[in-house]
Structure 1
């Protein structure tokens, strides 16, 4: 017997015999599907921010499209959804700073989860007039609040954006422009009198054609009498000539 066999450890025994250690194969590489999904989401987000109207969706809409508000006032943005959702996200895009910032997430129970350095005293989300609507309230407006606000929902692991609401905060609201009327023309106006329309029924009136018909009939009778007398006179002359 080989002495090395004495030093070889005996196999461990289990309740049904020796335990066989399974072969551990290396873990398969991560699927590239999550990376592709993230790439599509980032591409969609970029197009939403750069191309107006790209994020128009039939599932949700925002009102109004543009807000012009004064400093230290408050405003609100409404997000309407066609179906029940697990909650709504609110983001802000600042074109000047090229900053896309998460503001708050609100679930149907009314619990809000705020982003980094976002205060609940500044932003608040409340239920709207309908069941599937949310209102974003922004208090104590400042110039730093300028930007485009998006309400977003998550569906099938993808973010669906609303059409966006552009907020512009100014110190003084512009006065409404007065409509200027054109001065009246100084050219003399000519009075044009309208002539009365000719009554087309007058020519066919019975008071006109009845006397005309009577005159024509009288002329015919006179003419017939004259012809008859002329014929008799001619006959008499003819008989007188033949008798001689």
Structure 2
């Protein structure tokens, strides 16, 4: 057993060096509340003789063996590891195992690894980081997008534009054109009235 432990220590000094595609852990991170429980899933893609579970404590700089579970469901616990706190459940196909941790406490903080033995080496999973807090942080509040501000200048409400007068060229150019057309249409009428008045004036003076 000296070689697996030596290889395991080397893996811990280089995070992620020994992770492989044969073991897959989910989730990668867990934030749980004190006195609650949580679960870590380990999926296996290779035949095995059993699954080991370890915990690495960054604070204590300690790598601790927790429990070993064989395909028959028999579990072997490490020294001073409570069977009430840690339990392992395996699927019927033996392709996945889940580690259940109960009565969570701050001392349970750390990174948990599932592992299998192959060719005198312990192959580690990707690791699951567990953080235990007394109070879970509140989810971020959804902020409502502010209403767009009304642009200053000529773009106003239609009623206000009518009262104050439109200042957009799209408004006053058609209006000026209409006034010009109206004035031009009045020119012949004014000329006719002028000729009629002149004829009446001449008739009056001839009499």
Which TM-score applies when normalising by structure 1? 0.58
Give the root-mean-square deviation of aligned CA atoms. 2.5
Q: Which of the pair has the greater relative contact order for Cα pairs under 8 Å at 6+ separation? A: 2
The secondary structure found in structure 2 opposite 1:113 is strand
Say yes or no: does 1:92 pair with 2:22: no
The secondary structure found in structure 2 opposite 1:117 is coil
Assess if the C-alpha contact under 8 Å between 1:78 and 1:128 holds in 2.
Answer: no
**Distance (whole Å) between structure 1 residues aligned to residue 72 and residue 114 of structure 2:** 17
Note the C-alpha offset of 1:37. 7.3
Aligned length: 156
Unaligned runs of 5+ in 2: 157-167, 169-207
The secondary structure found in structure 1 opposite 2:126 is coil
Q: What is the aligned partner in structure 2 of residue 159 from structure 1?
A: 122
Q: CA 1:89–1:36 in 2, change beyond 3 Å: closer, same or farther?
A: closer
Post-superposition CA distance 1:81-111 (Å, at most 9, x none):
0022100000000101101100000000000
Assess if the C-alpha contact under 8 Å between 2:4 and 2:122 holds in 1.
Answer: no
**Distance (whole Å) between structure 2 residues aligned to residue 67 and residue 103 of structure 1:** 18
Note the C-alpha offset of 1:144. 0.5
Map 1:183-202; keep pairs closer than 5 Å.
183-188=146-151, 190=155
Note the C-alpha offset of 1:178. 0.8
Larger CA Rg, structure 1 vs 2: 1
The secondary structure found in structure 1 opposite 2:107 is helix
The secondary structure found in structure 2 opposite 1:148 is strand
The secondary structure found in structure 1 opposite 2:136 is coil
Note the C-alpha offset of 1:141. 0.4
Assess if the C-alpha contact under 8 Å between 1:80 and 1:133 holds in 2.
Answer: yes
Q: What is the aligned partner in structure 1 of residue 73 from structure 2?
A: 110
Note the C-alpha offset of 1:119. 1.2
Say yes or no: does 1:62 pair with 2:25: yes
Q: What is the aligned partner in structure 1 of residue 10 from structure 2?
A: 43
Unaligned runs of 5+ in 1: 1-33, 193-244
Note the C-alpha offset of 1:125. 0.5
**Distance (whole Å) between structure 2 residues aligned to residue 36 and residue 172 of structure 1:** 42
**Distance (whole Å) between structure 1 residues aligned to residue 5 and residue 100 of structure 2:** 30
Say yes or no: does 1:123 pair with 2:47: no
Note the C-alpha offset of 1:117. 0.2
After the TM superposition, which of the residue ranges 178-187 and 112-121 deviates more from structure 2? Answer: 178-187
Which TM-score applies when normalising by structure 2? 0.68
Q: What is the aligned partner in structure 2 of residue 150 from structure 1?
A: 113
